Structure 1
Amino acid sequence: MVSNREPYIHVQQRGKIAVNRGSGGVITALDPILQSCNGLWVAWGNGDGDKRASGPSGKVAVPPDNPSYTLKRVWLTKQEEIGYYYGFSNEAIWPLCHTAFTRPVFRKEDWESYLKVNEKFADAIAEELQGRKAFVWIQDYHLCMLPKFLKEKLPNQTITAHFWHIPWPSYETFRICPQKREILEGLLANDLLGFHIRYHCNNFLDTVDRELESKIDRERQSIIRGGHETLIRPFPISVDYTDIRQMVQKPVVEDMARQLTEEFGLSGKKVLLGLDRLDYTKGIPERLLAVDRLLELRPELAEKFVFLQMGEISRLHIPRYKQLNDEINMLVEQINWKHSTDTWKPIILIRRHLNYPEPLAFFKLGDVCIVSPLHDGMNLVAKEYVVSSEGGNGMLVLSQFAGASRELTEAVTINPYDREQFAEALYSALTMPEEERRKRMSRMSKTVEENNIYRWAGKMISELLKIEFAE
């Protein structure tokens, strides 16, 4: 397994080394798989305690409480971090692929850092293989050029699968990228390339068709370029249903939920919940404005609910993220001032990092979970919530622009840009009869149970096993 983000981060706290589980959908989905197969995970080591924990080899056994696989860290210089991660990955590719109307920034020096870091990852994998053959499973948009470097350095040793966790844009959007041909050629060095939904597969096929000389077989869903075939497939990612169901019923999660109820004064109130990394694609300002509009339309709801918005600060080195953080702070202050009473304010903004299973405790408390991205490949928060709330009295409000909306069809669906509809959807979710809520949540939970993370992984591995190593 290869990804930018590491599944476990070692941090220094009061002179000691503590371990946090990494955040984000990639970690949520893939950590259980690596634990079950005792594999090797290669990732960027960016925790301030990572080097002390892993030593000269850069390797450490994880998870700390039950070591099941090896994490190998790749070390980056500060300049590489700025250019590869903050620059090309998150100021160029991320806004390019999300229809959230943030302009991408393309810098030559960022691209050069991106290439250098992708080659570092290839060297780290080559060092581990030492002549052996292996399946290499690459994750996401940070490592577009890794497949090409692997094929050049290890031409007959690897079969590579690459899963693209974010949307793939239309050709008209993608064509503005100065490095568009290089990115496409890097991805076409894979043997298997997966997206969440068929729509993104079709966008990729259309992009290649209009940009590169190649043979495209739309019936087989494959692309042949330079004699090499790449299979293009939809694989809707999911979560570990069984682990979440077992964990959410444990006393530790129950205790966490009780502590949170006391900490934030939630007793006797309905709880609306948002749980996101602070990112302009997540629609956080839109949901704050929807809560504001809900109280304008339904003033009788004052003091009846609290909206908890969890949001770990992210990428503040990038100006757009700092602007977003300032905008959220301003909206929370304005809306609370407008609607608060002597004993109540409608919105509580929580910025701390959540270690698993703390998110599950929040899910247990949420009468309504709001997942309102402006554009998202899948969104696993929606799936985690419906599994955590199974048998309870929760309801999911879900953006039609999240890939998850194609599976979780019993959710209250919204267009996050439509403030009036969004506010009415919140009211509908809050006042929905209990029997209907239970039926809807049960159906959605069943969908996640049937299409769980192991089925997702099994489908990709089944496709990989059909591919033979080059001679």
Structure 2
Amino acid sequence: MVSNRQPYVHKYQKGRVICQRGAGGVVTALDPVMRASRGLWIAYGNGDADRRVTDAAGKIGVPPEKPAYTLKRIWLNKAEEEGYYNGYSNDTLWPLSHLTFKRPTFRKEDWDYYKSVNMKFARAIADELGGRKAFVWIQDYHLCLLPAMLKELCGPQVITAHFWHIPWPSHEIFRICPDKKELLEGLLANDLLGFHIRLHCNNFLEAVDRELESKIDRERFSVTKGGHETLVRPYPISVDFAAISADAASPAVEDTMRSLREEFRLEGLKLILGIDRIDYTKGIPERLLALDLLLDQHPELKEKITFLQIGEISRIHVQKYKDVNDEINAIVERINWKHSTENWTPVVLTRRHVSYEEIIALYRLSSVCMVTSLHDGMNLVAKEFVSSRIDDGGVLMLSNFTGAARELTDALVVNPYDREQCADELHRALVMPEEEVSRRMQKLREAVRSNNIYHWAGKIISDLLKFDFKE
């Protein structure tokens, strides 16, 4: 397994080293798969205590409480991190891929760092393999060039699959990228390329058709270029339903629920929950403005609800992220000034790290979970929330611009740009009869149970194993 983001991060806290689970959907989805397979995960080590705990080869067993697989860390200097990660990955490819009307930034120096860091990953993998045959599973948009580089270093000894965790844009958008041909050629070095939904597969094939000389087989969903065939497939990602459900019933989560109820003064209040990285694609300002409208239209809800936004700061060195962080602060301040009473504040915004047990406990405590992404490949918060609701309670409010909306049809599906609709559906969720809440959640839980993370991984690995190593 190869990804930019690591599944576990070691940090200094109050003079001692602590280990935190990495944030984001990639880690949520793939950590249980790696525990089951007991493989090797190669990723960028970005924690300030990461070097202290790894061996000379940059390796450590994870998770710390019961090591099940090996994490190998790649080290980047500040210039590499700025150019490859903050620059090309998140100021170029991220806004290019998400339809949120944020202009991508194209800088040659960022592209150069992106290429050099992809090669650093390729060499680390090649050194690790030492000429042995291997299946390599690459994750996401940070490593578009890695498949071609790895094939050049290792030849036919390596079979690669690549899963793209974010949307693939339409060609009308993608064609503005100066490096579009190199990105496509890098990805077409894979043997298997996966996206969340068929629409993203179609967008990718359209880009290849318009930009490269190749043979596209639309019945087989494959591309042949230079004698090499790449299969392109939709694989809707999921979560470990059984494990999350079991954890939700654990004494540790029950204790955490009591603690959080006290910390956020939730007694007697209906909790509306948002859990996201602070990111302009997540629709956090839009959901806050819908809450503001809801309180204008239904003042009787004052002192009866609390909106809690968990928002861990992300990519703060990218100006677009600083801007949305400032926007969220201003909206929260305005809503609380406008609607608060002597004993009640409508919005609580916290940016502290929230542990896995705390996340599950918050899901359990909430009456409504708002997932209002402006554009998302899948969004696993929605599926985690559903998996945690062992009581068949809680209402999921879900953006129709997420991949998850295609599966979770018993959620209240909304257009996050439509403030009036979001306010109306939020009110509907808060006053929904318990029988309807339970009926909807039971159907949602069955949808996630039947397409869990092992089903997803099994389909990809099954397709990958059909490939033969070439002599």
Map 1:45-444; keep pairs closer than 5 Å: 45-444=45-444
CA contact (8 A) 1:369 1:394 kept: yes
AA aligned to 2:386 is: V
Q: CA deviation at 1:393?
A: 2.2
AA aligned to 1:439 is: R
Whole-angstrom distance in 2 between the partners of 1:114 and 1:56:
25
> 1:237-288 CA distances to partner (integer Å, 9 max, x unpaired)?
0000111011010011011111010011100010000000000000000000
Whole-angstrom distance in 1 between the partners of 2:220 and 2:164:
19
Report the secondary structure of 1:357's partner residue: helix
Q: CA deviation at 1:156?
A: 1.5
| Residue segments in structure 1 that go unaligned for 5+ positions in a row | none
Q: CA deviation at 1:131?
A: 1.1
Report the secondary structure of 1:374's partner residue: coil
> 1:159-185 CA distances to partner (integer Å, 9 max, x unpaired)?
000000000000000000000000000
Whole-angstrom distance in 1 between the partners of 2:328 and 2:39:
40
Q: CA deviation at 1:218?
A: 0.3
Q: CA deviation at 1:354?
A: 1.5
Q: CA deviation at 1:370?
A: 0.1
Q: Which residue of 2 aligns with 1:14?
A: 14
Q: CA deviation at 1:157?
A: 1.1
> 1:283-320 CA distances to partner (integer Å, 9 max, x unpaired)?
00000000000001111111110000000011111111
Q: CA deviation at 1:392?
A: 3.6
Whole-angstrom distance in 2 between the partners of 1:390 and 1:158:
42
CA contact (8 A) 1:236 1:378 kept: yes
AA aligned to 1:222 is: S
Q: CA deviation at 1:390?
A: 3.3
AA aligned to 1:9 is: V
Q: Which residue of 2 aligns with 1:30?
A: 30
AA aligned to 1:209 is: D
Q: CA deviation at 1:55?
A: 2.9
- Name the % identity: 63
Whole-angstrom distance in 2 between the partners of 1:145 and 1:358:
37
| Residue segments in structure 2 that go unaligned for 5+ positions in a row | none
Whole-angstrom distance in 2 between the partners of 1:15 and 1:262:
28
Q: How many residue pairs were aligned?
A: 471
AA aligned to 2:338 is: K
Whole-angstrom distance in 1 between the partners of 2:162 and 2:396:
30
Whole-angstrom distance in 2 between the partners of 1:335 and 1:219:
52
Whole-angstrom distance in 2 between the partners of 1:236 and 1:156:
29
> 1:303-341 CA distances to partner (integer Å, 9 max, x unpaired)?
110000000011111111111111100000000100010
AA aligned to 1:390 is: I
Whole-angstrom distance in 2 between the partners of 1:138 and 1:356:
25
Whole-angstrom distance in 1 between the partners of 2:22 and 2:62:
12
CA contact (8 A) 2:140 2:166 kept: yes
With 447-456 and 392-401 compared, the bigger mean Cα shift is at 392-401
Whole-angstrom distance in 1 between the partners of 2:95 and 2:434:
40
Map 1:452-471; keep pairs closer than 5 Å: 452-471=452-471
Report the secondary structure of 1:9's partner residue: strand
Report the secondary structure of 1:245's partner residue: helix
Q: TM-score of the superposition, structure 1-length normalised?
A: 0.99
> 1:398-437 CA distances to partner (integer Å, 9 max, x unpaired)?
0000000000000001000000001001001111110011
Q: Which residue of 2 aligns with 1:5?
A: 5
CA contact (8 A) 1:156 1:469 kept: yes
Whole-angstrom distance in 1 between the partners of 2:13 and 2:134:
38
CA contact (8 A) 1:391 1:442 kept: no
AA aligned to 1:32 is: P
CA contact (8 A) 2:44 2:73 kept: yes
Q: CA deviation at 1:57?
A: 1.1
Q: CA deviation at 1:16?
A: 1.9
Q: CA deviation at 1:357?
A: 2.2
AA aligned to 1:265 is: R
Whole-angstrom distance in 2 between the partners of 1:215 and 1:254:
56
Q: CA deviation at 1:358?
A: 1.7
Whole-angstrom distance in 2 between the partners of 1:261 and 1:335:
22
AA aligned to 2:421 is: Q
AA aligned to 1:287 is: R
Report the secondary structure of 1:156's partner residue: helix
Q: TM-score of the superposition, structure 2-length normalised?
A: 0.99
AA aligned to 1:129 is: L
AA aligned to 1:410 is: D
> 1:179-229 CA distances to partner (integer Å, 9 max, x unpaired)?
000000000000000000000000001110011000000000000000000
Report the secondary structure of 1:20's partner residue: strand
AA aligned to 2:106 is: F
AA aligned to 2:198 is: R
RMSD (CA atoms) = 0.6
CA contact (8 A) 1:387 1:445 kept: yes
Report the secondary structure of 1:101's partner residue: coil
Q: CA deviation at 1:17?
A: 1.4
> 1:363-389 CA distances to partner (integer Å, 9 max, x unpaired)?
011100000000000000000001111
Q: CA deviation at 1:13?
A: 1.9
Report the secondary structure of 2:310's partner residue: strand
CA contact (8 A) 2:249 2:390 kept: no
